[in-house]
Amino acid sequence: MKTVKQFFSIVLVAVLTVGFAFNSEAKKSGDTSSSTVVEIAVSNPDFSILVEAVTKADLAGALSADGPFTVFAPTNDAFSSLFKELGVNGVSDLTAEQLTPILTYHVVSGKVMSSDLSNTSVETLNGKKIKVDLNEGVKINDSKVVAADIAGKNGVIHVIDKVLVPAGKSGGCN
């Protein structure tokens, strides 16, 4: 069951990251809900690091699952900041075991649109909770939501500006 949760968490992360870039095109060409989270993520270069991490953690297959999932997807800039903080060069310096708890921390079961959010804590697929704060914009823990409601046929992506790291983990690298 834990592996299934981890798999779905990674899918949500990929959907969120790809969705940010796809959202601009969707506004021009129509609804994104006919695309899977995989299609959304792979088509967006701003989420190449997320896609690389999901692939290395062997969670990419989850992106094709039915869901629904809510993914809080960090941008490439967010990952670059985390790598600098951790003193690593990138995904290649991390193991799948280090990446998995971080990636699954970005995924919540169900399709939660921004209008459904409230000030609360929500359990992620890795079993730890994230804090939703609507007092000054929308924040997930200490990360700001920079784009919301990028709908795919198996979930929704909310793009965030910082990688979420589960409490008690140093980037999942300990």
pLDDT digits (tens, 9 = 90+) for 133-165: 999 999 999 999 999 998 888 888 899 999 999
- Higher per-residue confidence, 40 vs 129: 129
Please state the pTM of the whole predicted model: 0.78
Per DSSP, helices labelled H in 57-168 are 76-86, 96-104
Q: Where are the domains of the chain?
A: 2-160
Residues 46-71: pLDDT tens digits?
A: 999 998 998 899 877 765 678 898 88
2-to-8, 73, 85, 129, 165 alpha-carbon distances in Å: 10, 21, 28, 15, 18
Report the C-alpha gap between 157 and 127 in whole angstroms: 19
Range from 18-32, 34-48, 49-63, 77-91 that averages highest in pLDDT = 77-91
Tell me what pLDDT residue 92 has: 95
Tell me what pLDDT residue 75 has: 94
- Domain 2-160: assigned CATH number: 2.30.180.10
Cis link prior to 68 (omega < 30° from 0)? yes
